[in-house]
Amino acid sequence: MASTRIADHLGRVLGGRYRLLAPIGTGASAHVFLADDVRLRRRVAVKILHPALADDEAFLRRFRAEARAAAALNHPHVMAVFDWGEEADGPYLVSEYLGGGSLRAVLDRGRRLSPSQALMVGLEAGKALAYAHGRGLVHRDIKPANLLFDEEGRLRIADFGLARALAEAAWTEPVGAVLGTARYASPEQVKGVPVDGKADVYSLAVVLVEAVTGRVPFAAETTVATLVGRLDTPLEAPPELGPLGPVVARAGRPDPTERLDAMSFAAALQAVAPELPAPEPLALAGPATFDLNHLAALEGDPTDLGNVPKAVAQEKQPFEADVTVTDMSVAAPPDEAVTRATPTVTETIDEPAPTGVIARPESGSRRAARRAERAEVTAVLTSRKGARRRRWPWVVLLMVALLGGGGAGAYLLIGEQVPSHPLPDVTQRDRATAEGALRAVRFEVAVEEQFIDATVPGIVTDQRPKAGVDGKGRPIALKEGDRVTLIVSKGPPPTPIPDLTDLTEAKAKAEIEKVGHVLGDVEKPYDETVAAGVVMDWAPKGTSPPKGAKVSLKVSAGPAPRTVPTLAGRTYESAVAALEAIGLRAARAPDQYNADDDTKGKVVIASPTQGATVKRGDVITMTVSAGRPEVPSVNGLTVAEAEAKLATVGLKLDGKYGPTGGKVFLSTPIPGTKVTPGSSVDVFIL
């Protein structure tokens, strides 16, 4: 993989999840990048191996097996492996990102470790190797570049299992040396014989010598000379190591059977710890320097399909602008339009239509009724003419009677001639229709309007006299000119709307129904002053509509819900003010230590959380950060006393090295070191 291709990887997303942000390391077999896990939103380290390995089936099989085994390791001094995968241009490994840099970076800056610092590195690395070896996993490539530190100076061993996978692929560095850097390889690795965990202990001993002296044992001008020089020669510890020298020498024996294993190596270091002063904090190299302009350009999540690129949106606009509705009218089908314009009349209209009136075709039943009506009128007229002709002799007699017999008989005769008509029933008809039906037979009409419950205004509810039949079963008839009185409804009687002030919705409904009205629409807006469920207003108001009118209510839904604002990062006092400004109350939970020391004195947790919907007056409980805890001094204390003291700052006692019943003379990390909450502290006992 050419170094010029590093930039080509920036911005890539591996496995649909890991976005590469910046390079943080490179080697013959891989490049390492700082990456963003877009799913869990955390920074990780991604090691992309050489593309040539993508076609090596032997390597891929071993890589998968070793990656699974490495991911199963769970130790505070072993770098966590989160994930692994394969792309078309090669496999990759995802691990935790450590911001303290590597031991290689420390040494490359010309810094050297004191024997006390080297003891800490050796002890932590030895514990990690003992843990891995106990699970059947040998590293095979212990070197300063694979000893990394977190921001607190705690060591992690990186790349477990990777060296073995590359070895099975017969991968060579550019100069042809077998992988497992030659300067740190054990004699058995040089010979090509099977190796066990003691090979890692040998390499660790070489690393410690270099870390203190700046010189690699047996280092020669060529790789071959370096390897040959250590085949049968014991590792001699330089005097700069002080009390560490004998332990390192026992770890550097060429014969693995005479060499310390990882557990014994850690125990031996623990035994000499009382001879050394307390170590100073390591001068860590710190995180790699990133191109901030490049990181800013990579803002956004390329795996997020929810956002339409701006260019695409601009391309769509001209097309969308072309779709314009300019005419909302709908034309009728041609045939229908012709039919409406020229109606066809197929039947003969018997009578001419009045002027200005459009003639309409009549149905057969209607024409027959009209003919029967005309025939009846003709018959009546004819009968009246005949009656008049036959009535003349009687007129002569009447005149004689009037002249000779008095006026009473004449009056009776004249009154007898006023015609009578059956009284129609016009109830349940509207007033105009009822009056028309009565006047058609020349009855006099009188109207009385009354308010009547459960009636429609303008409808005749009763009449006097009533229509029907007499005692003999004959229709009741009135003479022309007789009066018929109609009782016409004015609708239900007006009923005042009751005062509904401060009533609940249920009580308001009862009051409305008590006076004969009905409940209409109910609106429920939020209100900051009126309690939930209480009537705020109603309509109609202050009037007396007809009984049965609908009364609409406006009922308070209470104060509007509140959204918990962003409180994280504020001081407690500022957060309280922000909550009180929107009608919420604040409570403070016990302060908690936090991994980020910059958060000290600021809110880190709020419950309910930011964005939650709550009621006005609800209590929001906040937790304020106490910052990162400092390791207290436990020197001179018993183990139990030290453990109790550490617990007061949220730390726990892990390793206890020394005789039982003694007192602590050394702790690591050293007192005053700021650490992550819940971190463990190792103590050394005399």
528: domain CATH number is 3.30.10.20
Q: Which helix or strand (DSSP H or E) is residue 369 part of? A: helix 364-405
569 and 664 inside one domain: no
Do the domain assignments include residue 175? yes
* 141 and 205 housed in the same domain: yes
**Omega into 256 within 30° of 0, i.e. cis?**
no
* Cα distance between residue 309 and residue 306, in whole Å: 10
Strands 680-685 and 652-657: parallel
Other CB atoms within 10 A of residue 632 CB: 17
Give me the pLDDT at residue 289, please.
55
Q: Which amino acid is at 47?
A: K
Look-up: residue for tokens 């699970």? 135
Q: Are strands 444-450 and 680-685 parallel, antiparallel or unpaired?
A: unpaired
Same domain, 420 and 475: yes
Tell me whether residue 300 is in a domain. Answer: no
Strands in 427-512 per DSSP E: 444-450, 460-464, 477-479, 483-489
Same domain, 145 and 178: yes
CATH of the domain at 13: 1.10.510.10
Q: What's the pTM value of the predicted model, to 2 decimals?
A: 0.45
**Cis peptide bond prior to 525, omega within 30° of 0:** no
In a domain, 359, yes or no: no
Cβ neighbors of 185 (< 8 A, separation 6 or more) are 178, 199, 203, 227
Question: Is 307 domain-assigned?
Answer: no
Q: Does residue 328 lie in a domain region?
A: no
Q: What is the DSSP secondary structure assignment for residue 393, as one 8-state letter?
A: H
Q: What is the DSSP letter of 672?
A: T
Return the ∠ at Cα 353 (arms to 350 and 355), rounded to 5°.
Answer: 160
β-bridge mates for residue 668, sequence order: 682
Mean pLDDT by 10 residues, the chain (686 residues): 62 92 80 91 89 73 77 89 85 90 93 95 95 89 93 89 61 41 85 89 96 90 77 90 95 94 92 90 74 45 37 35 33 36 34 37 48 45 42 45 45 58 93 90 94 91 93 90 95 92 94 93 94 94 90 95 94 94 94 87 93 94 92 92 91 89 90 90 90
R_g of the chain, CA atoms, integer Å: 54
* Residue 312 maps to a domain: no
Q: Terminus-to-terminus CA distance in the chain, angstroms?
A: 53
Structural domain total, the chain: 5
Tokens encoding 476:
């009741």
CA distance 592 to 627: 8
Peptide bond into 465 cis (omega under 30): yes
Q: What is the DSSP string of 530-582?
A: SPTTBEEEEES-S--PBTT-EEEEEE---SPPEE----TTSBHHHHHHHHHHT
Distance set, CA 259 to CA 202, 244, 473, 626 (Å): 8, 15, 137, 47
Task: DSSP for 608-659, please give it.
Answer: SPTT-EE-TT-EEEEEEB--SPBPPP-TT-BHHHHHHHHHTTT-EEEEEES-
pLDDT of residue 565: 95
pLDDT at 402 (0 to 100): 45
Predicted confidence at residue 485, as pLDDT, reads 97
Angstrom distances, CA of residue 224 to CA of 175, 232, 253, 614:
11, 14, 20, 73
Please state, in angstroms and rounded to a whole number, the distance separating the CA atoms of residues 229 and 227: 5
End-of-domain residue from the set 591, 624, 657: 624
Q: What local confidence, expressed as pLDDT, does residue 52 receive?
A: 74
Last residue of a domain, one of 272, 291, 310: 291
Based on the fold, state whether residues 462 and 575 are members of the same structural domain.
Answer: no
**492-516 core/surface letters (b: 16 or more CB in 10 A; e: else):** beebebbebeebebeebbebbeeee
Give, in degrees to the nearest 5, the angle at Cα 530 between 525 and 534.
Answer: 75
Q: Which domain holds residue 264?
A: 3-291
Please say whether the beta carbons of 29 and 48 come within 8 A.
no
With respect to residue 389, please indicate whether it lies within any of the assigned structural domains.
Answer: no
| Residues contacting 61, CB < 8 A, separation 6+ | none
Please tell me whether residues 547 and 567 are part of one structural domain: no
Distances (CA, A) of 642 to 592, 628, 636: 21, 19, 9
* 104 and 206 co-located in one domain: yes
Q: Are 545 and 470 within one domain?
A: no
Q: Note whether 141 and 210 are same-domain residues.
A: yes
Please state the three-class secondary structure of 105-173 as a single string: HHHHCCCCCCHHHHHHHHHHHHHHHHHHHCCCCCCCCCCHHHEEECCCCCEEECCCCHHHHHHHCCCEC
Active site residue 141: yes
Domain co-membership, 125 together with 230:
yes
Question: Around 637, how many Cα atoms within 13 Å sit in the side-chain half-sphere?
Answer: 16
- Residue 367 is encoded by which pair of tokens? 């024409």
pLDDT at 169: 54
SS3 430: strand
511 in a structural domain: yes
Q: Mark which of 457, 492, 527 sits at the end of a domain.
A: 492
Roughly what angle, to the nearest 10 degrees, separates helices 262-272 and 197-213?
A: 40
pLDDT score at 148: 94
* Burial degree of 608 (CB within 10 A; 0-12, 13-18, 19+): middle
Report residue 451 as tokens.
Answer: 């308010």
Handedness of CA 658, 662, 666, 669 (dihedral sign): positive
d(CA 137, CA 134): 7
Of 36, 56, 89, 141, catalytic: 141
Q: Are residues 41 and 167 in the same domain?
A: yes
Q: Residue 320 has what pLDDT?
A: 33
Task: Judge if 111 and 129 occupy the same domain.
Answer: yes
User: Can you tell me the distance from the alpha carbon of 45 to that of 35, in angstroms, rounded to the nearest whole number?
Assistant: 6
Residue 226 pLDDT: 78
Q: Which of 579, 569, 568, 534 is nearest to 553 (CA)?
A: 534
